[in-house]
Amino acid sequence: MSSPSLRDLARTLGLSHTTVSEALRNSPRVNAATRQRVQAAARVAGYRANPLAGALMSEMRRSRSGTFRGVIAVLDLDGPDRRPVNAARYHRELGLGASLRAAELGFKTAPFVIDCHDISFARLDDILQSRGIHGIFLLPVSESPDLSQLDWSRYAGIYSDYIIEHPGLHSICSDHYRSMMMVLQRLQTLGYRRPGLVLNRHHDERLLHRWEAAFQTYQNHHDAFTRLPPLIIPEISRTEFIVWFKATKPDVVLCHRAEAIEWMKECGASVPRTHGFCCLNEMLNVIPCAGIDLQPRLLGARGVEMLIAQLHRNEYGVPETPMTTTVPARWVDGPTLRQQI
């Protein structure tokens, strides 16, 4: 026997063709009980959707109604006033990449800068629902975010950082481990032999120690470097840096903060003549440095592509198995490292 059509299912269930179609696509516009009843009946009847037909109908509807397909919330739980100015540049690029790519795919983005101490999640739910928003692109949060109180049966979400557990959403972030490997390979090629790593401890912990792990692993398998103890402390300060620098004597420093260049000079270093400096995130500094660009605009674009794909598939709710997608960094030449020998 041939598979029943969608209209056959609708007649059997006493529902409209549109309701059955949306229930089979798991659309939140149909209540949960009806969705379950329709999906169960479809399984029993042996109904099979034709994905090519669905794609064709979607494109025909888009052509009739123009390119606008919906609104995506770009959610910022920290806000620009709660993060350093240079870190805010990274977040702006991330949001811009998301907005530009969303527009290319027929979606608009709506920024939401929210202090969760000032607004309840019930109120945030109301705001998002009143604007017909079902996609949430969450910007990185300094502390582990907890959005479990949102009604995720109505939303698809992507977090633009390493890990989110409350709830566990799909995420996209820079490939810090691979990026550190690239950096060390480049420094070895340039003739450096005593690399020293400087990290903020909280930052290291948020990334599950990926910077540190790659730094140590590379040296375990390459004899060219002298192993030096990294400086990983709660707050990177001039005093502690200078003590560490004089004790370990690195010939190149890997750090996020370009202020370290001045501290190196206080210790007698001349950058790049006698010592090098490599920035682990070009977006965080305003002075020219050699280092890596974590490509936040590309991260935003790829993240919103993932989110829109979920919306097209009507994949709402917390995923059973959250996945993390990583994007490699890009090397940037600069005046703080010597030329290749």
Could you tell me the pTM of the whole model? Answer: 0.79
By CB atoms closer than 10 A (0-12, 13-18, 19+), residue 130 is exposed
State pLDDT tens for residues 243-301.
Answer: 999 999 999 999 999 999 999 999 999 999 999 999 999 988 888 999 999 999 999 99
Q: Is the pLDDT of residue 209 over 80?
A: yes
Nearest to 41 by CA among 18, 19, 24, 22: 24
Tracing tokens 């029993």 back to the chain, one arrives at 44
Q: Which of 95-109, 143-157, 243-257 has the lowest mean pLDDT?
A: 143-157
Task: Order across the sheet with 330-332: list the strands.
Answer: 231-233, 195-200, 252-255, 276-279, 290-293, 330-332
Q: How far apart are CA 113 and CA 315, in angstroms?
A: 25
C-beta neighbour count of 181 within 10 angstroms: 15
- Looking at per-residue pLDDT, the higher value among 30 and 1 belongs to 30
